[in-house]
Structure 1
Amino acid sequence: MKILVAGATGKTGIRLVKRLAAGGHTPVALVRKSSDTSSLPDQTQLRVGDLADLPAGVCDGCDVVIFAAGSGGDTGADMTDKIDRDGAMALIDQAAESGVARFVMLSSVGADDPDSKSDLAHYLQAKHDADEYLKASGLTYAIVRPVSLTDDDGTGDVILGRDVDPHAKAARGDVARVLADAVSSDDWGGKTRLMQTA
């Protein structure tokens, strides 16, 4: 399948794109003009676009779209809204217009019911809004909500759903594995699940 990945040059995104390519898919990286694409596999196709101002037709010809982007931990509330909420919503709209078969969202633990007292309250609210928008879009979706991320490759052994410890860790490598699986697995269609590395 041809799979568009937003956030393809991020720490999780690079692992995801490599896994998709190794699985025989054609990854399409949505990148800004300034993005460093040197770590992406050779077979990766590039589409230039900024989530803060998406060009029309960015999802055309793609079977699946994965949102694995983020504004980053050092940005303010305005950029969080532009990327994690509004950018995600704009990509969902374009995916629906292009008739993609599935939209996979990388979300976060806590996005189901954001804690207003949390240090991450604004971020979690943005993720919550984007998740709810996806659920109402009519697209077949999968929403992955990992616990706190580490930069490890992981073990491939993950826990999903109700048995997840919200205070555990999730290796980015394992998150990439789960996102890649959610692209086509029947177990993920229309599902929202927490995840952690076992």
Structure 2
Amino acid sequence: MKVLVIGANGQVGQQVVNMLHAHERHTVRAMVRKQEQLEAFQKKGIEAVLADLEGTVDEIAEAAKGCDAIVFSAGSGGHTGADKTLLVDLDGAVKAMEAAEKVGIKRFVMVSSFQAHNRENWPENLKPYYVAKHYADRMLMNSGLNYTIIRPGYLRNEKGTGLVTIAENLNGGSIPREDVARTIVQSLDEPNTYKKAFDLMSGDTEIAEALKSLQ
């Protein structure tokens, strides 16, 4: 399938793009905000398109035309102001869903945040970020899209192990960004992840096996 990666210049997004570019079954289009980001992907032979989550639904829909799936890995970051968080993590995500519906894309993989579904576990200093993630996820679950919502724990930069723990509710932990990216890519056409949301941490189970055994 052809996959539009929104947030392609982020740390997880870049890894997702590179994995999809090398994939035998998938192709990729990277959505970025800046011309220099576009050119950096194009120099690597990767299709890229300019569009802004703070722009219009039509702009995002145009970027998504011809794709079969969307991966939403964009984020303002938990330490930006609440205004930017609302514009990107909530409204930007909803615009991406509306764009998918507008051009007939059904498959939508959302990168959320650990325990975004559980208000009792939100860190006090990150509440606006978690509010945005929570309601974006709820909007996606109530849409007509074939969604998967991935809620990774604390993100680390070391090399991935390919071993994870996946469940609706986990107690906490962390995970390399590389393993988050691998999980996103492997979720795309894994039917057992369709219409499901789950926490994701480092663990001792191969990603493919963990996804197939998800309850």
TM-score w.r.t. the length of structure 1 is 0.92
| Consecutive unaligned residues in structure 2, runs of 5 or more | 204-215
Q: 1:27 to 1:130 in 2, by over 3 A?
A: same
Please provide the CA RMSD for this pair: 1.8
Q: 1:40 to 1:120 in 2, by over 3 A?
A: farther
Structure 1 CA distance, aligned partners of 2:165 and 2:85? Answer: 28
Structure 2 CA distance, aligned partners of 1:41 and 1:153? Answer: 25
SS in 1 for 2:70: strand
Q: 1:114 to 1:178 in 2, by over 3 A?
A: same
Matches within 5 A, 1:47-196: 47-54=49-56, 55=59, 56-115=61-120, 118-162=124-168, 164-166=170-172, 168-196=173-201
Structure 2 CA distance, aligned partners of 1:32 and 1:47? Answer: 8
Q: 1:61, CA displacement in angstroms?
A: 0.9
Q: 1:41 to 1:105 in 2, by over 3 A?
A: farther
Question: 8 Å contact 1:3–1:66 — kept in the other structure?
Answer: yes
Does residue 9 of the first structure (1) align with residue 9 of the second (2)?
yes
Counterpart of 1:197 in structure 2: which amino acid? S
Q: 1:17 to 1:76 in 2, by over 3 A?
A: same
Which residue pairs with 2:210 in the alignment? none
Note the alpha carbon deviations across 1:144-186, whole angstroms, 9 max, x for none: 00011111231000110057331x1111000000100111111
| Consecutive unaligned residues in structure 1, runs of 5 or more | none
SS in 2 for 1:109: coil
Question: 8 Å contact 1:14–1:39 — kept in the other structure?
Answer: no
Counterpart of 1:110 in structure 2: which amino acid? Q
Percentage of pairs with the same residue: 37
Counterpart of 2:68 in structure 1: which amino acid? D
Counterpart of 2:46 in structure 1: which amino acid? T
- Identify which range, 137-146 or 54-63, moves more after superposition: 54-63
Counterpart of 1:130 in structure 2: which amino acid? A
Question: 8 Å contact 1:27–1:43 — kept in the other structure?
Answer: no
- Identify which range, 185-194 or 68-77, moves more after superposition: 68-77
Aligned residue pairs: how many? 197
Note the alpha carbon deviations across 1:3-62, whole angstroms, 9 max, x for none: 000111111111111111121322111111245352678342111101111414222111
Counterpart of 1:16 in structure 2: which amino acid? V
Counterpart of 1:6 in structure 2: which amino acid? I
- Between structures 1 and 2, the one with greater helix share: 2
Q: 1:2 to 1:43 in 2, by over 3 A?
A: farther
Question: 8 Å contact 1:170–1:196 — kept in the other structure?
Answer: yes
TM-score w.r.t. the length of structure 2 is 0.85
Question: 8 Å contact 1:106–1:144 — kept in the other structure?
Answer: yes
Note the alpha carbon deviations across 1:56-75, whole angstroms, 9 max, x for none: 42221110000001112442
SS in 2 for 1:36: helix
SS in 1 for 2:28: strand
Structure 1 CA distance, aligned partners of 2:118 and 2:168? Answer: 15
